[in-house]
Amino acid sequence: MGSVLRILPTMRFYSVALITLLAACGGSQPEAKAPPPPAPAPTAYKDMNLDQRKEFMEKVVLPEMKTTFAAFEPKFADMNCKSCHGKGAEDGSFEMPSAELPVLPNTPEKFAEYAKDPEHARWSKFMVEEVEPKMANLLQLKPFDPATKTGEFSCMACHTTEK
């Protein structure tokens, strides 16, 4: 009987160790699932067909730009397709740049003069600092850099200039 009492603590140790090991290993685990495949990269705007562009404009660009414009000027809370594309937005006959948006000066010197007006200066700052980079990003285009005269998206993507 004395030898059995000496073995009990050892058996208890091994039993606890075995249970701990099994718990740590988790016993039978469900097979790990493979991660989902990565989502396809969004189609660049320039590669979209007309239907895709229209959907992208309605579901992505308009809500984003409406928020941006309304934060700057509350009257744009009702912004819609016609706000940028003009009357031709209704039947798809619009052209960009739009002659229905404010016409901008056609030289840096004339623009400097134009921007002396406080309201033009306020809008110019907003357009350059917020609208142009946001639209370029949404359309996956490089914003125009006046210092290097490089880039794919500038004011002239939306606005016409003086003749």
90-102 pLDDT, tens digit each:
898 999 999 999 9
- Kindly state whether residue 29 falls inside one of the protein's structural domains: no
pLDDT at 116 over 50: yes
- Kindly state whether residue 89 falls inside one of the protein's structural domains: yes
- Kindly state whether residue 90 falls inside one of the protein's structural domains: yes
- Kindly state whether residue 14 falls inside one of the protein's structural domains: no
- Kindly state whether residue 101 falls inside one of the protein's structural domains: yes
pLDDT at 10: 46
Domain hosting 128: range is 45-157
Euclidean distance between CA atoms 143 and 152, whole angstroms:
6
Euclidean distance between CA atoms 60 and 64, whole angstroms:
6
pLDDT at 32 over 90: no
Nearest to residue 65, comparing CAs of 53, 51, 54, 79?
79
Confidence of residue 36 (pLDDT cuts 50, 70, 90): low
Looking at the structure of the chain, the number of domains it has is: 1
